[in-house]
């Protein structure tokens, strides 16, 4: 148990047991997401109801998971560290400027200034390469025989780009910061959900009248100034406030899977788009026989072992 009023925090590696009595309750939103391989053997983040082995997690998120019913079977390792709000002033500075921005460029710019800090902490330096531009065959021949040669790109007969893997990798990125940010965001998502993931059908006479009574909870700054709903523009870019479609009423929704859906609004217009394909197959969930309802992988009703779903490519093809 962590002492109160202490700057110490912990990252732990544990085995987690997911009780079957939680499967029906948690199937739409399983806890403890993990990276694994999908049916096409591509790495993918999955939320499943399988037990977790050697799962690395921030202790605050772990406490929530335990409160919601998961069980710790074994603790493998614990990393203790000190915390401090060393980046708070910078984050607050950009957030404040974003709330005062008058155009989309500045809004996105100050948002990026915050988000890019997180991205830099999680940068995978293993993917970095050195590129040599060569204009002579002798240069090319000398490089492609080296053990760290990766590939080449031919532009013309006299110009090639030789891609070389790093012969020496320096792990200078503070990955532990990004890991903590990511894990604490999982906790927030479990408590509140993501900021743009809910489509709710509301049946009443005047939804916008309801918003007027709950203005403290909404960011209405993107509504037109002379909107027909007479909503005042308040809480611009204030963290934790709800947003709506700014009066563009959605009258129909069709969802195939995550990130693939369409909506119908009461505004008529024409859009022409070229698409490679649309697929209704969602390999992040187990699709039931009716082709509509789904369950999380690991649900007791699927009766599919995690070793079959999570096998590595080499195991799969052997």
pLDDT score at 318:
38
- Per cent of the chain over pLDDT 70 is 86
Same domain, 147 and 183: no
Q: Return the H-helix or E-strand segment holding 96.
A: helix 88-100
Q: What's the rounded Cα separation, in Å, for the pair 297 and 50?
A: 7
**Residue 298: what pLDDT?**
86
pLDDT tens, position by position, 243-301: 887 877 777 777 777 666 676 665 566 777 776 666 666 778 888 888 888 888 888 88
Concatenate the DSSP letters of all residues of 201-265 into one string: ---SS-HHHHHHHTGGGB--TTS-TT-TT------TT-TT-B---TT--EEEEEEEETTEEEEEE
Can you give the length of the chain in residues? 318
Whether residue 46 is found in the same domain as residue 157: no
Integer Cα distance of 316 and 41 in angstroms: 8
- Tens of pLDDT, residues 150-159: 999 999 988 9
Question: Which two three-digit tokens encode residue 117?
Answer: 């800090």
- 152 shares a domain with 13: no
Predicted local confidence at residue 302, as pLDDT? 84
CA dist., res. 204 & res. 187, Å (int):
33
- Show the domain range for 59: 8-85+178-194
Q: Which two tokens stand for residue 80?
A: 């203790």
Residues 33 and 57 in one domain: yes
pLDDT digits (tens, 9 = 90+) for 109-123: 999 999 999 889 988
Verify that 161 and 188 share a domain, yes or no.
no
Q: How much of the chain exceeds pLDDT 90, in percent?
A: 38
143 and 184 housed in the same domain: no
In this structure, are 159 and 182 located in the same domain? Answer: no
Angle between helices 175-192 and 104-121 (to 10 degrees): 120
Residue matched to tokens 């007791």: 300
Choose the weakest-confidence range: 156-165, 177-186, 200-209. 200-209
What is the distance of C-alpha 249 from the center of its chain?
A: 27
Contact 77, 13 (CB under 8 A): yes
Check residue 69 and report its DSSP letter.
T
Q: Residue 129: enclosing H or E segment and its boundaries?
A: strand 129-134
Residues 186 and 160 in one domain: no
User: Who wins on pLDDT, 277 or 15?
Assistant: 15
Statement to judge: residues 63 and 13 lie in one domain: yes
Beta-bridged to residue 257, according to DSSP, are 260
**In terms of C-beta density within 10 A (0-12 exposed, 13-18 middle, 19 or more buried), how is residue 155 classed?**
exposed
Q: How many domains does the chain divide into?
A: 2
Say which residues have a Cβ less than 8 Å from residue 57's Cβ, sequence separation at least 6: 11, 12, 13, 14, 32, 65, 183
In a domain, 227, yes or no: no
pLDDT category at 61 given cuts 50, 70, 90 is: very high
Report the run of H or E that residue 152 belongs to, with start and end.
Answer: strand 149-156
């Amino acid at each position: 148990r962590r002492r109160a009023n202490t700057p110490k925090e912990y990252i732990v590696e544990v085995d987690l047991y997911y009780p079957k009595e939680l499967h029906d309750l948690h199937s739409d939103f399983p806890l403890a997401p993990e990276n694994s391989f999908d049916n096409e053997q591509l790495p993918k983040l999955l939320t499943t109801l399988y037990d977790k082995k050697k799962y690395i997690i921030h202790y605050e998120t772990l406490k929530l998971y335990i409160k919601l019913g998961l069980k710790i079977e074994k603790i493998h390792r614990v990393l203790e560290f000190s915390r401090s709000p060393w980046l708070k002033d910078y984050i607050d500075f950009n957030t404040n400027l974003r709330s005062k921005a008058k155009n989309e460029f500045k809004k996105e710019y100050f948002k990026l200034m915050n988000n890019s800090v997180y991205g830099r902490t999680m940068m995978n330096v293993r993917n970095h390469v050195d590129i040599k531009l060569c204009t002579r065959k002798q240069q090319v021949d000398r490089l492609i025989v080296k053990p760290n040669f990766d590939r080449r790109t031919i532009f013309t007969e006299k110009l090639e780009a030789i891609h070389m893997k790093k012969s020496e990798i320096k792990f200078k990125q503070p990955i532990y910061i990004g890991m903590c940010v990511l894990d604490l965001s999982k906790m927030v998502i479990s408590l509140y959900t993501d900021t743009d993931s809910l489509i709710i059908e509301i049946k009443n006479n005047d939804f916008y009248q309801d918003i007027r009574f709950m203005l403290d909870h909404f960011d209405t700054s993107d509504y037109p100034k002379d909107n027909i709903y007479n909503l005042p523009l308040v809480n611009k870019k204030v963290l934790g406030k709800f947003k709506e479609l700014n009066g563009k009423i959605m009258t129909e929704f069709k969802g195939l899977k995550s990130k693939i859906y369409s909506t119908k609004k009461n505004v008529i217009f024409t859009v022409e788009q070229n698409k490679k394909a649309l697929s209704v197959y969602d390999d992040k969930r187990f699709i039931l026989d009716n082709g509509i309802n789904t369950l999380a992988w690991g649900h007791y009703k699927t009766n599919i072992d995690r070793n079959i779903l999570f096998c590595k490519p080499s195991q799969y093809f052997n």
